[in-house]
């Protein structure tokens, strides 16, 4: 099997894997990153979302060969270990999570949205988040948290999509 090199949460990794193996299972089973969750397994619920070069992808249907040489960011890589990413802090402040299972994917999708569109309208938020399902129905709090970040409550400016870039909550 080929060795595939890429970055995860700011660190270089090399995996000896079939290039068609799904990124989700490489992250979870080979690299031990369990914050990326398994949901539907067919790219329909957004639970497994991570960023590849800043773009939201469904890791359950992304072959690891497609991320060779690229940067993968998981929810575990958003914080520097001390300070939360602004989107994470907004999630905490708004008590967004209920059972929490979908929330890593929701946060990563929100980061991707705000990285591309720092001031989304409600329609922009609904469109961007439409593929991330939440059985607990936390959609209103998700939208509130995204709007607070967009309004600059957590430092303003472009929301970082890469690991170890930290904004302080006001
Ligand atoms: S918080 Fe339970 S599925 Fe979203």
Ligand 1 atom nearest to CA at 134: 4
Residue in 54, 37, 70 with CA at minimum distance from that of residue 112: 54
What would the pLDDT profile of 23-73 be if each residue is shown by its tens digit? 999 999 999 999 999 999 999 999 999 999 999 999 999 999 999 999 999
CA of 2 to the centre of ligand 1 (A): 37
CA of 7 to the centre of ligand 1 (A): 28
Last residue of a domain, one of 42, 77, 112: 77
Q: Is the CB of 44 under 6 A from ligand 1?
A: no
1 pLDDT band, cuts 50/70/90, is: confident
97 and 144: one domain?
A: yes
Token code pair at residue 65:
């060969």
Give the sign of the dihedral formed by CA 40, CA 102, CA 53, CA 116: positive
pLDDT in the model for residue 158 = 52
- Looking at every residue in the chain, the average pLDDT score rounds to 91
Q: Is the CB of 95 under 6 A from ligand 1?
A: no
Parallel/antiparallel/unpaired status of strands 71-73 and 55-58: unpaired
Q: Is the CB of 47 under 6 A from ligand 1?
A: no
50 and 104: one domain?
A: no
Read off the pTM. Answer: 0.92
73 and 120: one domain?
A: no
Q: Is the CB of 38 under 6 A from ligand 1?
A: no
Per the rule left: phi > 0, alpha: psi between -120 and 50, beta: everything else, 77 is: alpha
pLDDT in the model for residue 167 = 35
What are residue 57's DSSP bridge partners?
Answer: 50
CA of 148 to the centre of ligand 1 (A): 20
- The CATH number that applies at residue 139 is 1.10.150.120
Token code pair at residue 99:
């059972």
Residue in 93, 165, 163, 99 with CA at minimum distance from that of residue 137: 99
Q: Is the Cβ–Cβ distance between 96 and 136 less than 8 Å? A: no
What would the pLDDT profile of 80-135 be if each residue is shown by its tens digit? 888 899 999 999 999 999 999 999 999 999 999 999 999 999 999 999 999 999 99
148 pLDDT band, cuts 50/70/90, is: very high
160 pLDDT band, cuts 50/70/90, is: low
Last residue of a domain, one of 39, 59, 77: 77
Q: Cα–Cα distance between 21 and 64 in angstroms, integer?
A: 6
Q: Cα–Cα distance between 135 and 152 in angstroms, integer?
A: 29
Which of 13-17, 116-120, 166-170 has the weakest average pLDDT?
Answer: 166-170
- The CATH number that applies at residue 65 is 3.10.20.30
CA of 124 to the centre of ligand 1 (A): 21
108 and 68: one domain?
A: no
Q: Is the Cβ–Cβ distance between 161 and 73 less than 8 Å? A: yes
What are residue 14's DSSP bridge partners?
Answer: 5
Residue 170 forms part of a structural domain: no
């Amino acid at each position: 099997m080929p060795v595939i090199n890429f970055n995860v949460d700011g660190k270089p990794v090399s995996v000896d894997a079939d290039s068609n193996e799904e990124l989700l299972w490489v992250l979870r089973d080979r690299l031990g990153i369990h914050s990326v969750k398994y949901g539907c397994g067919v790219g329909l619920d957004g639970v497994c979302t991570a960023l590849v070069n800043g773009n939201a992808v469904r890791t359950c249907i992304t072959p690891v060969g497609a991320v060779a040489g690229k940067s993968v960011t998981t929810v575990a890589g958003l914080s520097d270990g001390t300070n939360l990413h602004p989107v994470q802090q907004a999630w905490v402040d708004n008590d967004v999570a209920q059972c929490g299972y979908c929330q890593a994917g929701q946060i990563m999708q929100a980061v991707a949205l705000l990285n591309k569109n720092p001031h989304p309208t409600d329609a922009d938020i609904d469109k961007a988040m439409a593929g991330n399902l939440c059985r607990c129905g936390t959609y209103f709090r998700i939208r509130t948290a995204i709007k607070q970040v967009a309004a600059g409550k957590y430092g303003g400016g472009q929301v970082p999509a890469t690991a170890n870039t930290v904004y302080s909550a006001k």
